[in-house]
Structure 1
Amino acid sequence: MTTPIHVMSEIGKLKTVLLKRPGKEVENLTPEIMERLLFDDIPHLPVIQKEHDAFAQALIDRGVEVLYLEKLAAEAIDAGKVKEKFVDRILDESNIETDGVREGLKKYLLSFDTQEMVDAIMAGIRKKDVSIESHHLADVSSEEVYPFFMDPMPNLYFTRDPAAAIGKGLTINHMAFEARNRESLFIEAIMNYHPRFADQGVEVWRDRNHTSRIEGGDELVLNDKVLAIGISQRTSAKAIEQLAIELFERNSNFEKVLAIKIPNVRAMMHLDTVFTMVDYDKFTIHPGIQKNNGEVDTYILEKGGEPGTVKMTQRSDLQEILREALDVPKLTLIPCGGGDAIAAPREQWNDGSNTLAIAPGVVVTYDRNYVSNALLRSHGVEVIEIASSELSRGRGGPRCMSMPLIREDLPK
């Protein structure tokens, strides 16, 4: 493992992970704007921070190096001497209505040291905090009109989505909703300027400048040759095909992409909210993505006969497709909530299928999903439970909250 990103599986021993500690951006949610910012409820900041700290400590206790997005972003901006350039990029994508507001915000942000500036951008900029010299009616900083010049980014603690490590590189993602699109600017800056990543052989398989959408919660690295990617509310079929072509044409080690169709609904927004790998031959699955006979529409993409093309095969026997792809004699799908008509949808809503594997057969889960957790243990999986009363309000579990950067390779 000679590069700063190395992820050849979902279950290899986790060595380094990227997290984002929930901050002021969570407290800046209001009932009027939370739906637009993709939240169903408003977490209590001191408690969500306590729970997130316990999550990070659980990983550290197992020997995982924990890096923080907010810290790396500030270090990258300083290392690249791009503070003003970064502010311009953020302002370009923040729907600033007039030049007066833009100039006022730019002056305000550049007055901070870099870490304070990054934290302020993530938290959102309230109108009452910035003096704007302007004669435009649109610049009136009235709390009654709308409290923010720049929206908060409360989804940032779900570091899985703005980017995804694949092999020795990553995708930096164009996300589905405007509320989250600025998030990947931090990842882009880190990869371009941070000494740990810049000029260190990291492949950017796909940058954020595409129009088709993809998010890391849909991107699963099954092994060093096969990816699974969800066709979902947040990831388009077009983006999956584009990524597959990039991987095949640029001589990555990946030979096959399984595009798995899941319902286009918020409750199942990403593939990893309904399906995660927990061991060499075991997966969690939410029964709600399966048809009555257990089938799931799956499209197998392989390198085509002509450059820039793929060969596609459609199948629906997901369990058999996975067994073949992983070359295991038998494969077990462990149903969220035990498949019970009440427990399954309840625990899936609370991310019972969203496990973070930190080694083969060792996963981190939310404590609230006790039916699913007991079932995982009955299948020989070690379950590390973390408190989740506030973390779960954001609609994401331990896998959503983590971006693995380095995993040990699985033995051949």
Structure 2
Amino acid sequence: MSKPINVFSEIGKLKTVLLHRPGKELENLMPDYLESLLFDDIPFLQQAQKEHDYFAQVLRDKGVEVLYLEDLVAESLTDDTIRTQFIDEYLGEANIKGTGTKEMIRELLLGITDMRELVDKTMAGVQKVELPPLKYKSLSDMVDSDYPFIIDPMPNLYFTRDPFATIGHGVSLNHMYSVTRRRETLYGKYIFTYHPRFKDADIPMIYNREETTRIEGGDELILSKELLAVGISQRTDVASIEKLAENIFAKDLGFKRVLAFNIGNERKFMHLDTVFTMVDYDKFTIHPEIEGDLTVYSISKEEDGTNVIEETDSLENILKKYLKLEKVTLIRCGGGNLTAAAREQWNDGSNTLTIAPGEVIVYDRNVITNKKLEEAGIKLNYVPGSELVRGRGGPRCMSMPFDREEI
């Protein structure tokens, strides 16, 4: 029986991928609250959807099965017991202060009988104006504020790379950096527990959303069947990488080493995949600003546990050594020009989605980086991203592979 999760590389031919089409959650973004929701700007929803639909069609045209997060969650709520449990767990994590308000929203959600409509509503959030006045109020209900939401929207959901990561035949169900994104992982929990496609597959969980230290999928890269790379970043703790490595080694998924890239605690270098992606057997994109001070640690599986060392060589030589290659090519974002690199990295020039060895999907706007990729022999599939990029994420950020051909 084939396994529903099969991802042992970044570059094997992509067969199945998970996306989320941006929805009404983007229309609940407001200028005063952008920072807490991890946005710098407000995308125009209709245009963002057109761009996302184009992205999905490029994948389909390449023979990739495209699954949607919102559909899988709806298909996971297979009976009233699971549906009620989902609503109660969602409300328990929604930071609702008043008991009367919480009960009213529970009734609202229980009254939605269409599962897709219910899931869409949980993603969009709930504005105060959507509810009638309460007859009986607790103090928390009565002490109102100017904040317009009872439940915040989840505008980052179209970056399906982060709430969980597929690694080998397993899943890292992540504990997110920001409170505003932690509820996103609830959807993954229900998909892998209750969806008919996954529930009987005995999928190993190599990280759990109940953990207390943060890790996100944009920091988790699979360089080979034996080698992972994980970013120590704004979004991923060192302690999480240690836990992840121990779990992967204990569950014997085939991986023998984890390289931890210390890329710094800055929003512009939010995740490892915003500054480094694999595009071919021996070729990688990289943002030149991280190269000079980049420290790499190696965590390896040993008979008596794990061994950690600090690598002292250049990144090229580290990659050559552990990938058993004679040569490695680093393709620098912006062609190495710091001004161009900073601009194009901000627009996710280094964040490519590899769909087959040497073939990637990129935003069309990063013209300098794209030219360098082509000069290195990489085949490019261009997608528009003028609105999608406002969330600070590129094609890899917007996709979570479920199945790749082995290489």
The normalised TM-score by structure 2 is 0.97
- Change beyond 3 A, Cα 1:136–1:80: closer
Q: Does 1:267 align with 2:268?
A: yes
Looking at structure 2, the residues matched to 141 and 30 of structure 1 have their Cα atoms a distance apart, in angstroms, of 22
Shift in Å at residue 327 of structure 1?
1.1
State the match for 2:25 in structure 1. Answer: 25
Matched, 1:234 2:235: yes
Find the partner of 2:381 among 380, 384, 387.
384
Q: Distance in 1 between matches of 2:287 and 2:405?
A: 28
1:98: Cα distance to partner? 2.0
SS of match in other structure, 1:25: helix
**After superposition, where does 1:128-277 map in structure 2 within 5 Å?**
128-131=129-132, 132-140=134-142, 145-277=146-278
| Cα 1:314/1:86, change in 2 over 3 Å | same
Alignment check: 8 A CA contact 2:163 2:173 kept: yes
CA–CA separation in structure 2 for the residues paired with 1:409 and 1:141: 57
Residues 301 and 313 of structure 1 are in contact (CA less than 8 Å); yes or no, is this contact kept in structure 2? yes
Q: Quick one: distance in 2 between partners of 1:19 and 1:252?
A: 25
**Counterpart Cα distance in 1 of 2:227 and 2:291:** 21
Distance in 1, matches of 2:379 and 2:354, equals 10
2:319 — aligned with what?
322
Deviation at 1:201, TM superposition (A): 2.8
Paired position in structure 2 for 1:406? 403
Paired residue type of 1:138: S
- Distance in 1 (CA, whole Å) between partners of 2:142 and 2:66 is 42
Question: Identity, % of aligned pairs?
Answer: 53
CA distance in structure 2 between the aligned counterparts of 1:6 and 1:201, rounded to whole angstroms: 13
Find out whether 1:303 has 2:301 as its counterpart. Answer: yes
Q: Is the 8 A contact 2:273 2:396 kept in 1?
A: yes
Alignment deviations for residues 324-378 of structure 1 (CA, whole Å, 9 cap, x no partner): 1111110000000001021000000000000000000000000110000000000
Decide whether the 8 Å contact of 2:99 with 2:141 is kept in 1: no
> Which of 371, 374, 396 does residue 371 from structure 2 map onto?
374
d(CA) in 1 for partners of 2:88, 2:232 = 33
1:393 corresponding residue in structure 2: 390
Matched, 1:96 2:93: no
Between the aligned partners of 1:2 and 1:305, the Cα distance in structure 2 is 30
Find the residue that maps to 1:36 and give its secondary structure: helix
Between Structure 1 and Structure 2, how many residues are aligned?
404
Q: Structure 1 residue 312 and structure 2 residue 311: aligned?
A: no
More divergent stretch after superposition (320-329 vs 38-47): 320-329
CA 1:226–1:133 in 2, change beyond 3 Å: closer, same or farther?
A: farther
1:47 and 2:10 matched: no
Partner of 1:107: 107
Distance of 2:136 and 2:358 partners within structure 1: 60
Which blocks of at least 5 consecutive residues in structure 1 are unaligned? none
The one-letter amino acid paired with 1:66 is V
CA-to-aligned-CA distance 1:275-297 (integer Å, 9 cap, x gap) = 00000000000011111xxx620
Which secondary structure does the structure 2 equivalent of 1:299 belong to?
A: strand
Aligned AA (1:314): E
Match of 1:59 in 2: 59
Q: Secondary structure at the match of 1:227?
A: strand
Whether the 8 Å CA contact 2:288–2:338 is kept in 1: the answer is: no
| Code of the aligned partner of 1:343 | A
Q: Retained in 2: the 8 A contact 1:98–1:138?
A: yes
Query: What SS does the corresponding residue of 1:134 show, helix, strand or coil?
Result: coil
Give the aligned CA root-mean-square deviation in angstroms. Answer: 1.4
Instruction: Report how far residue 218 of structure 1 moved.
Output: 0.1
2:177–2:216 contact (8 Å) kept in structure 1: yes
Aligned to 2:279, the other structure's residue is in SS state strand
Q: Kindly state the Cα deviation for residue 79 of structure 1 after the two structures are TM-superposed.
A: 5.5
1:222-280 Cα distance to aligned partner (Å, 9 max, x none): 01110000000000010001110111112110000000000210001000000000000
Q: Which whole-Å CA distance do the structure 1 matches of 2:380 and 2:206 have between them?
A: 33
| 1:151-170, Cα deviation, whole Å (9 max, x unpaired) | 00000000000000000011
How much does 1:137 deviate? 4.8
The normalised TM-score by structure 1 is 0.96
Letter in 1 for 2:373: L
Q: Distance in 1 between matches of 2:158 and 2:274?
A: 16
Give the Cα separation in 2 of the matches to 1:403 and 1:79.
27
- Structure 2 counterpart of 1:404, one-letter code: P
What CA deviation, in whole Å up to 9, does each residue of 1:183-228 have, x standing for no partner? 0000110000000011113211111110011000000000111000
